[in-house]
Copies of this chain bind each other. A is one copy, B any other.
Amino acid sequence: MAETALGTRERLVRTASRLMQHQGYENAPIKQIVRDAEATLGSLYHFFPGGKQELAVAAIRFGDQEFAELLRSGLDSREDAAEAVGAVAAQLAAALHTSQWADGCPVTATALETLDRLPDIQAACADAFHNWQNLVAEKLLAAGIAEPDARDLAVTVINTLEGAEMTSQVTRSQSPLLTAGRHLTRLVRSYY
C-alpha cells in the first residue's frame, strides 16, 4: 500500500515537472498532469492538499535535484575546474539535442510566469538557482579560487548556462551552449 502511494506521488511530481519544463506553470493544466501521471484528481489532493501550487513546489524541487545531478556529473568529469565548467555546457548541449531541444531548464519558464504572484513557487525557484550556484562554487573553491570570487563566478556560470540553453532551444542549435562553455572556461581560468 505504502509503495503504491509513493508511486503515485512520484508520478505526479515527475509529470508536473516535465510539463512545467515544457509549457510553464500556467499552461500545465491540472487535468493533463493527472492524466499523464495516470493518477486521479482525488490522489492529487490527497498528496497535495494545496492543489496545483503545492504540487508545483514539489515539481520545482524535483527539477532542482534532477538538474543538480546533471551539473554534478559534468563537474566531476574533469579535474580542472575551468575545463569542468566547459564540460557541463557540452553535456547540456548534448542532452538538449537528444531531447529535440525540448528539455531545457526545469525552472526558468515557471520562474518567469510566477514572478510577484506565487511566493511559494518563486522561493522554490530561487532555492534551485542557489543550489546550482553552490555546486559550481564548491568546484571553484576546491581549485583554489578565493571565496568571494568563487561565489560570484558561480552565479555567472549558472546564468550564462541558463541564457545559452534558452538560445540553443530557440535556434535549435548546440552552438550557443558550446560557445558559452568555451567562454566560461576562459573566464574561470583567469582566476587561478
A164-B154 Cα distance, complex, nearest whole Å: 12
B129 and A116 within 8 A (CB):
no
Inter-subunit contact B116/A167 (CB<8 Å): no
Which of the residues B112, B152, B170, B175 comes within 8 Å of A169, measured between beta carbons?
A: B112
For this chain, the copies found in one complex come to 2
Interface residues in A111-165 (C-beta closer than 8 Å to B): 111-113, 115-116, 122, 125-126, 129, 152-153, 155-156, 158-164
* 15 A-B interface contacts by CB (under 8 A): A23-B113, A24-B109, A26-B27, A102-B116, A108-B108, A109-B113, A111-B169, A112-B112, A115-B169, A115-B170, A126-B171, A152-B179, A155-B179, A161-B163, A163-B166
